[in-house]
Amino acid sequence: MITRTAVVASKSGLHARPAALFVKAAGAAGVPVQISKDGKDPVAANSMLQVMTLGVKQGDTVTLHAEDGADAALDKLAGMLETDLDG
């Protein structure tokens, strides 16, 4: 299992448009990806409902989880989270 951490840059956190863009990218990653916050159990990153239940706000640190070999996918997703997607 590999992980990446990211600080969420979007003003609305992982809600509305930023969450939709992230969930879509996670679903297209080609590997199962999970996301967690504050050391809680990870949830499916490709599920809008599960991602929204995390209550991620701007400035929160989240952790992405995937199986070994998914480095590029996690790097891309972490980069998205560290970008303001509200625009």
At a CB cut-off of 8 Å and minimum separation 6, what does 31 contact? 66, 67, 69, 70, 73
At a CB cut-off of 8 Å and minimum separation 6, what does 87 contact? none
Question: Please, what sign has the CA dihedral across residues 75, 78, 85, 19?
Answer: positive
Catalytic residues: 15
